Amino acid sequence: MYEKYDENMVLPSIPYNSPTLPYEKPELGVNYWIQDDLFPVKKAVELANKCYNKKKWKLGSPYTKELWPGMRSKNALSKSDLQFVEDWAKSQVNKANFWVAESDSVVVDSNTAILVGAEEGEARPHVDNRKLCRYGAVLYLSQNPPAHSGTSFYRLKYGNGAAGGNLVQAPYLNLVDALKADSLPKDAWYEDVAIENKFNRLILFKGNIAHSASGYFGNEKRTKRLAITFFWLAEE
């Protein structure tokens, strides 16, 4: 669990000569967007069951050396349902076209069911590689999820407690580039804003803002955190 940032905190200045990131306050309708009850309830239940009943899953941590947690299965939504989601997302950010990046070195798991249990993963603040994703989205499909299991946005927390930024911008592609560090300690972040997990809720956000799943839950297949993830590029 990350310490919650509060604007009323009295914090020191960022240490001199430390790497920094720009800060953009997470704000609904500006850098993240939410649609509740995205599909009719019956349809959403059917989509969840379709995911649970999938036969082909790729395993991640702790079962393999992959860094991502739990298990994943491609092609979660049909073409028509995927188009419906994309059309809504494009309308929120006023873009005519979205597309999924192609990469020889990285698998872009867009329109992919993600199933992660309480013992399989934890919050891991990151930004999506700017070369592969401009907008990310998550469709929550667990019924009656526990609190604090949705999506959280984060900002840097320095060793002295100072609050830093959360944004990776050109010419950098990711946190490694921007901060010139291969990794950060677990306590290097404040949780800034947390969006609750709600069945059939879609959250769309700018991928270059530090974010993560807030947390995971469940131990059996149908009690674990189920979501469908999307990663899109768009014209500038």
Cut 0.85: pTM above it: yes
Cβ neighbour number for residue 159 with a 10 Å cutoff? 10
Instruction: Find all residues with CB under 8 Å of 47, minimum gap 6, and list them.
Output: 39, 76, 77, 81, 141, 228
Closest residue by Cα to residue 114 from 167, 64, 166, 61: 61
pLDDT digit of tens for each residue in the chain (236 aa)? 899 999 999 999 999 999 999 999 999 999 999 999 999 999 999 999 999 999 999 999 999 999 899 999 999 999 999 999 999 999 999 999 999 998 777 778 999 999 999 999 999 999 999 999 999 999 999 999 999 999 999 999 999 999 999 999 999 999 999 999 888 998 999 999 999 999 999 999 999 999 999 999 999 999 999 999 999 999 88
| Count of alpha carbons within 13 angstroms of residue 58, beta-carbon side | 13
CA distance 226 to 70: 10
Helix (H, G, I), strand (E, B) or coil at 37: coil
Helix (H, G, I), strand (E, B) or coil at 48: helix
